[in-house]
Chains A and B, each alone.
Chain A
Amino acid sequence: MPSASQIRALIVDDQASIRQVLASHMADLGFKGVVQRKDGKEALEYLEANPIHLVISDFNMPGLDGLALLEAVRSNPKTAKLAFIILTGEANAGLVQKAVAAGVNNFLAKPYTVAKLKETLEKVFGPIR
Chain B
Amino acid sequence: MGDVMDDILKIFFEECDELLPELESGLGELSEEESSKETINAIFRAVHSIKGGAASFGLDRLVRFAHVYESALDCLRSGTVEPDPAIIKTFYLAMDVLSDLVAEARNTGDPVEDSRIEENVHKLEAIIGQGGEGQPASGVGETPVPEDFTPVTVDLGGFDFDEPVEEAPARTLTVRFRPHSELYSRGDDARNLLMGLRELLPEDALGSLQVTCDMQDLPPLAELSADEACLGWTVQLPEGAGGTTEDDIHAVFDWVGDVCGLEIIREEAAGAASSDEAEAAGDGAEELPFIAEPEAAVALAEEGAVPAPEAEMAASSRPAAPARSGRKRGEQNASIRVDIERIGMLMDMVGEMVIGQASLESALTRENALHDQELLKRLAVIKTLTRDIQEAVMAIRAQPVRHVFQRMQRVVREASALAGKDVALVLEGEETEVDRTLIENLTDPLTHMLRNAVDHGIENPEARQVAGKPAQGTIRLSARHRSGRILIEILDDGGGINTQRVLQTAIKRGIVPPGASLGENEINELIFAPGFSTAEKVSDLSGRGVGMDVVKQAIQNLGGRVTIKSMPGKGTLFTLSLPLTLAVLDGMLIECRGSIMVVPVSSVVELVTVRTDEDVYTIPDGSHVVSVRGRCIPLIYLGDELTLPAEPAGQAGSHHMGRAGEAGQLIVLVVENEAGARAALVVDGVRDQAQVVIKSIEKNYRQIQGVSAATILGDGSVSLILDVSTLIVSATKRVDTRALEAIAERAA
Please list the residues of chain A having a beta carbon within 8 angstroms of any beta carbon in chain B.
Answer: 1-3, 5-8, 14-18, 20-21, 24, 28, 31-33, 49-51, 53, 58, 60, 62, 81-83, 88-93, 96-97, 100, 103-107, 109-111, 120, 123-126
| Chain B residues positioned under 8 Å from A8 (CB to CB) | 165
Listed by A's residue number, 8 A-B pairs whose Cβ atoms lie within 8 Å are: A17-B12, A20-B8, A33-B240, A53-B161, A89-B52, A105-B151, A105-B153, A123-B151
> Which A residue's beta carbon lies closest to that of B155?
A81
Contact between B53 and A18, CB atoms less than 8 A apart: yes
Contact between A5 and B166, CB atoms less than 8 A apart: yes
**Quick one: which of B4, B45, B63, B159 contacts A24, CB cutoff 8 A?**
B4
Given contacts A24-B8, A107-B143, contact A62 B165 (CB under 8 A): no
| Chain A residues positioned under 8 Å from B145 (CB to CB) | 88, 96, 107, 109
Contact between B166 and A92, CB atoms less than 8 A apart: no
Contact between B143 and A88, CB atoms less than 8 A apart: yes
| Chain B residues positioned under 8 Å from A7 (CB to CB) | 161, 165
Minimum distance in angstroms from B693 CB to a CB of chain A: 39
**A104, B150: Cα distance in complex, Å:** 10
Q: Which of B58, B78, B166 has the most CB of A within 10 A?
A: B166
**A100, B242: Cα distance in complex, Å:** 37
Q: Shortest 7 CB-CB distances between A and B: which pairs?
A: A111-B55, A17-B12, A123-B151, A106-B151, A32-B166, A6-B161, A109-B143
**A123, B165: Cα distance in complex, Å:** 22
Contact between B74 and A91, CB atoms less than 8 A apart: yes
B137 on the interface (CB 8 Å rule)? yes
**A20, B14: Cα distance in complex, Å:** 14
B141 on the interface (CB 8 Å rule)? yes
**A98, B151: Cα distance in complex, Å:** 15
| Chain A residues positioned under 8 Å from B71 (CB to CB) | 91
| Chain A residues positioned under 8 Å from B153 (CB to CB) | 105, 123-126
| Chain A residues positioned under 8 Å from B395 (CB to CB) | none
**Quick one: which of B45, B74, B164 contacts A92, CB cutoff 8 A?**
B74
Given contacts A21-B8, A51-B170, A91-B71, contact A103 B164 (CB under 8 A): no
**A96, B142: Cα distance in complex, Å:** 14
Indicate the size class of the contact surface on chain B.
35 or more
Contact between A90 and B48, CB atoms less than 8 A apart: yes
B595 on the interface (CB 8 Å rule)? no
| Chain B residues positioned under 8 Å from A24 (CB to CB) | 1, 4-5, 8
**A51, B138: Cα distance in complex, Å:** 39
Contact between B52 and A15, CB atoms less than 8 A apart: yes
B676 on the interface (CB 8 Å rule)? no
**A120, B78: Cα distance in complex, Å:** 30
Contact between A124 and B165, CB atoms less than 8 A apart: no
Contact between B160 and A51, CB atoms less than 8 A apart: yes
> Which B residue's beta carbon lies closest to that of A120?
B151
Contact between B149 and A107, CB atoms less than 8 A apart: yes
**A109, B146: Cα distance in complex, Å:** 12
Minimum distance in angstroms from B246 CB to a CB of chain A: 11
Contact between A6 and B164, CB atoms less than 8 A apart: yes
Mask for B116-147, Cβ within 8 A of A = 1, else 0?
Answer: 00000000000000000000011001011110
Minimum distance in angstroms from B154 CB to a CB of chain A: 4
Given contacts A33-B166, A89-B55, contact A105 B11 (CB under 8 A): no
Besides the contacts A6-B165, A33-B166, A90-B48, what 20 more A-B pairs have beta carbons closer than 8 Å?
Answer: A2-B156, A6-B164, A15-B49, A15-B52, A17-B15, A18-B56, A31-B165, A33-B240, A62-B45, A81-B158, A82-B154, A88-B144, A91-B74, A100-B149, A105-B153, A105-B154, A106-B151, A120-B151, A124-B152, A124-B153
| Chain A residues positioned under 8 Å from B49 (CB to CB) | 14-15, 18, 60
Given contacts A33-B165, A109-B145, contact A60 B48 (CB under 8 A): yes
> Which B residue's beta carbon lies closest to that of A92?
B74
**Quick one: which of A3, A21, A53, A93 contacts B56, CB cutoff 8 A?**
A21
| Chain B residues positioned under 8 Å from A83 (CB to CB) | 154
**A49, B172: Cα distance in complex, Å:** 12
B424 on the interface (CB 8 Å rule)? no
Contact between A2 and B159, CB atoms less than 8 A apart: yes
Minimum distance in angstroms from A38 CB to a CB of chain B: 12
